[in-house]
Amino acid sequence: MEFTVEQIALMLNGEVKGDKSLKVSQLAKIEEGSAGSISFLANLKYEQYLYSTNSTAVIVDKTFEPKKEYSTTLILVDNAYASFTVLLQEYQKVLAQNKKGIEQPSFISTSANIGSDVYVGAFAYIGDNCKIGNNTKIYPNVTISELSTIGDNCTIYSGVKIYNNTIIGDNCVIHSNSVIGSDGFGFAPQADGTFATIPQLGNVIIENNVSIGANSTVDRATMGSTILREGVKLDNLVQIAHNVEIGKNTVIASQSGVAGSTKVGESCMIGGQVAIAGHIVIANNTILTGRSGVTKSVRKSGRIIGGVPAMDNHDLLKSQVLFKNFPKIEQRLRDVEEKLKEK
């Protein structure tokens, strides 16, 4: 991939400050840039590297004012971080376009419907009556079981297992070794102390523009559907249990888990290692800070919740200050007790 600085500026609706004709062919961090690479500066902690970088061009905010001389060419945009993300996406598309065709050995059922410009890697399995959309990339060792549907422009990386009846929309990405549609954790206790398996007869529905990180799991519903709404982003090692619904544009960080039948609202931000109990509701625009344990519904939107058990984050911070001071408080109580004894 090679573009002129001017071409990139047009793509990003930016303005060039320097030589428009220079060519770039790779992306790089600003501190590691070399000739022919393009970088970005969004966090001013890295401003020092702008004055020494070897990158041919650097994307910066229009409001940025350099404090020293620099040798690189600048591309001025409204939001450097967002613009560089667009550039990364375009770069990824160019790379993906090189992947087409069906590698052998692989298995595709004769009843499967495969779209145009699809890539199917070696040792992939596509079962009966599956439907694969146009421009979708299925990497080696992927299993897609019967009656599953995957939309257009999706990328399914190596080792992903998609169980039967799963429905996946357009522009979705599922990273390596994730499992979509395995049984929910449903077991009924018996009189003799054993547990009987409750059949999990539902499915998983993943809407458009969803991203699922590596080694994550989304369980099928007992009945009905487990649903990830449009724009949901899951980090690596996230567990979504049966009959859960995750609202539009909600993001969940690594090692978090949502227990069965819980409904998480839209545009929520869930930190790492958060545990959410089953059969509760989380309102829209809720922020759950890392390592929170949420045992009750959050009904009011826009709250920041943290701690175990989870509480309003402002109250949590006050509680943490008090907890740190407990030894001093205890000593003060002992001193008071001693004085009372003396009387």
Angle at 111 between CA 109 and CA 116, to 5 degrees: 85
pLDDT for residue 97 is more than 70:
no
CB 56 within 8 A of CB 22: yes
Question: What pLDDT score does 50 carry?
Answer: 95
| pTM of the shown model | 0.82
Per-residue tokens: 303: 């709250």
- In tens, the pLDDT along 16-75 reads 999 999 999 999 999 999 999 999 999 999 999 999 999 999 999 999 999 999 999 999
Least confident of 11-25, 69-83, 308-322: 308-322
- In tens, the pLDDT along 202-229 reads 999 999 999 999 999 999 999 999 999 9
pLDDT for residue 93 is more than 80:
no
CB 97 within 8 A of CB 50: no
Q: How far apart (Å, rounded) are the C-alpha atoms in residues 158 and 139?
A: 5
pLDDT for residue 98 is more than 80:
no
Domains of the chain: 3-96 (3.40.1390.10), 101-316 (2.160.10.10)
Angle at 115 between CA 178 and CA 213, to 5 degrees: 15
Question: What pLDDT score does 311 carry?
Answer: 85
- Cβ-Cβ contacts under 8 Å for 254 (sequence gap 6 or more): 213, 235, 236, 237, 238, 272, 273
Catalytic residues: 242
Place of tokens 């979509």: 180
Q: Report the b/e string of 108-145 with b at 16+ CB within 10 A.
A: beeebebeeebbbbebbbbbeebbbbebbbbbebbbbb
Q: How far apart (Å, rounded) are the C-alpha atoms in residues 187 and 181?
A: 17
> Which range has the top average pLDDT, 267-281, 309-323, 328-342?
267-281
What mean pLDDT, rounded, does the chain reach?
94
Question: What pLDDT score does 340 carry?
Answer: 83
Report the pLDDT averaged over residues 300-304: 96
pLDDT for residue 342 is more than 80:
no
Per-residue tokens: 49: 């590297």
